[in-house]
Amino acid sequence: MRVLLLGILIAGHQPGERIVFLGDSITDGHTLALLVEQALRGPRALNAGVAGDTAQGMLQRLDRDVLSRRPTRVVLSVGINDLFHQVSAEAYARDVTAIAVRLRERGIALLLCTPTILGPKHREAEKKLGDYMAVLRRIGSPVAEVHAALDGARTGPAELLEPDQVHLTFAGYRLMARAVLDGLGHPEREVPRTLALEPLPGIVREWRLRALPDGEWRSLALPQKEAVPHWWMDQERRRGFAVELGTEKRFRATATVDSPSARAVFLYTGAAIESITLNGRPLWKSEGWTGWHAGKERIAARLGAGPNSIEIECGTSFFLSMADDDSG
């Protein structure tokens, strides 16, 4: 199958305004960034979330995932995984403070988010979040009161947490976005009630796919037409992620990309891609980063003039797009 390589065009992008969202899986799912970006209708929202990450991990990847994106502002949401890993308030303070100092040295504004709430089965653990929140308020950067916004709505009609009692529902994300918009100085901006979702620019749309080790080849066109039951997975389907590919655990997929000339490009990966081969040569293999979002990896590559073959191996989902630069 073939797809014409297109450059990235982002509707409403105003050059110079770039908000990077740094966090764990609650950020990684991209709903928060979408809500804030669509509410503000201007600044570019870029995702630097990695599922399961802690303040220490975010500090370690600050250059790779945040500073490389040339942000004008960073929104930092961190604490839930530190809590589950029993990170002390002192260690948490050391790492969050180090992130804040590095951003401040570069003139990058920082908004700190208090951690989200947890469900009843994590009630005892959640009590310890108060120590983390006290740390955030001592750092000297503005604070978005996410925890208070969610906590105040626990008894309301909307379910705020998924069945795992950790991750947010769409209603929960709307409350988180409200707190972030307030923290950014935009209390007048309304949080979208629904998201406007379109396929991401530059996605590779036409694939041949088979389950490993010996499944039958079948065609896959993106975005997939059929909705999937869970609201968040369907959000990602509509954005051009391949989702719920089957009951098997691993898949191989191939595509052909036509390029009008030999050119340098960047491949943007997401979801469960494990490896990429370009024109018969291994290009990239996962080193264990667990992020989901589009652009988790930004891989430099070179296309030849004419058709170029791509082969990937992945789990039950994947995302792949191309652009002429790594600014996305």
**pLDDT tens track for 79-128:** 999 999 999 999 999 999 999 999 999 999 999 999 999 999 999 999 99
Sign of CA dihedral 281, 283, 286, 287: positive
- What is residue 10's predicted lDDT score, i.e. its pLDDT? 29
Residues in a beta bridge with 210: 252
- What is residue 325's predicted lDDT score, i.e. its pLDDT? 83
The pLDDT tens digits of the residues spanning 267-295 come to: 999 999 999 999 999 999 998 767 899 99
Q: How large a percentage of the chain has pLDDT more than 90?
A: 91
- What is residue 291's predicted lDDT score, i.e. its pLDDT? 86
The pLDDT tens digits of the residues spanning 115-152 come to: 999 999 999 999 999 999 999 999 999 999 999 999 99
The whole-number average pLDDT for the span 61-75 is 96
- What is residue 224's predicted lDDT score, i.e. its pLDDT? 98
The burial class, CB within 10 Å (0-12 / 13-18 / 19+), for 12 is exposed
The pLDDT tens digits of the residues spanning 247-266 come to: 999 999 999 999 999 999 99
- What is residue 6's predicted lDDT score, i.e. its pLDDT? 31
- What is residue 5's predicted lDDT score, i.e. its pLDDT? 35
Structural domain contains residue 142: yes
Structural domain contains residue 193: no
Residues in a beta bridge with 314: 251, 273
The whole-number average pLDDT for the span 214-230 is 97
- Considering 150, 183, 216, which residue would you say is the last residue of a domain? 183
The whole-number average pLDDT for the span 208-234 is 97
Nearest to 110 by CA among 136, 134, 80, 141: 141
* Same domain, residue pair 23 and 168: yes
Please tell me the total count of domains within the chain.
2
Q: Sorting pLDDT into bands at 50, 70 and 90, what band is 13?
A: very low
* Same domain, residue pair 31 and 162: yes
Which helix (H) or strand (E) segment holds residue 48: the answer is strand 44-49
- Considering 127, 156, 183, which residue would you say is the last residue of a domain? 183
Contact between residue 255 and residue 207 where contact means Cβ atoms under 8 Å apart = yes
* Same domain, residue pair 159 and 207: no
User: How far is Cα 234 from Cα 237, in angstroms, rounded to an integer?
Assistant: 5
Model's pTM, two decimal places?
0.92
Largest CA distance in the chain: 60
The whole-number average pLDDT for the span 5-28 is 67
Nearest to 222 by CA among 210, 239, 197: 239
- What is residue 12's predicted lDDT score, i.e. its pLDDT? 34
Structural domain contains residue 194: no
* Same domain, residue pair 237 and 283: yes
Structural domain contains residue 83: yes
- What is residue 14's predicted lDDT score, i.e. its pLDDT? 43
Task: Assign residue 166 the CATH number of its domain.
Answer: 3.40.50.1110
Structural domain contains residue 115: yes
User: How far is Cα 14 from Cα 37, in angstroms, rounded to an integer?
Assistant: 12
* Same domain, residue pair 39 and 145: yes
* Same domain, residue pair 70 and 163: yes
User: How far is Cα 116 from Cα 171, in angstroms, rounded to an integer?
Assistant: 13
Q: Which domain holds residue 251?
A: 199-323
Question: Helices 31-40 and 170-183 sit at what angle, rounded to 10 degrees?
Answer: 50
The whole-number average pLDDT for the span 189-202 is 97
The whole-number average pLDDT for the span 199-206 is 97
Structural domain contains residue 130: yes
Structural domain contains residue 190: no
Whether pLDDT at 1 is above 60: no
* Same domain, residue pair 168 and 315: no
Contact between residue 268 and residue 201 where contact means Cβ atoms under 8 Å apart = no
User: How far is Cα 289 from Cα 298, in angstroms, rounded to an integer?
Assistant: 13
